[in-house]
Amino acid sequence: MASYVSINTSPAAIRSAGGRLTDLGSGFRDAGSWADIGALEEFGDDKFGAAMREQYPASTWPIWDNKMSVGQSLVDTGQDCMTAMDLYEQQEGQNAANISSIDPRLG
């Protein structure tokens, strides 16, 4: 079993994905409540509004009830991805500097 993390893409790509996750999480977190979304004023009191409300069955309501914490968790995860890649690149730079500072004549 491996005891390390393998990164199969660039740290910049992971940092970018973390930024997108942060943006999506904050958008979800800050979106309207189920009461707002399910309101007649939001969808309208016609067949089209009824069809839209059917897209949000009762099984989805717990997500809306917990969307603040779910959205914040996505924001935190995205920020953690960006921080991890910053630390990874800093450590890689330090490792390269340490190796470069070795005098091969001392070996």
Distant-in-sequence, close-in-space partners of 11: CB < 8 Å, separation ≥ 6: 85, 88, 89
Q: What's the pLDDT at 12?
A: 93
Give the integer Cα–Cα distance in Å for 29 and 75: 9
CB atoms near residue 106 (< 10 Å): 5
Give the integer Cα–Cα distance in Å for 83 and 78: 9
**What does the pLDDT look like over 42-98, one tens digit per residue?**
677 889 888 887 887 777 777 777 888 989 999 999 999 999 999 999 999 999 999
Residue 41 has pLDDT above 90, yes or no: no
Tokens linked to 75:
């924001």
Distant-in-sequence, close-in-space partners of 67: CB < 8 Å, separation ≥ 6: 28, 29, 31
Q: What's the pLDDT at 5?
A: 62
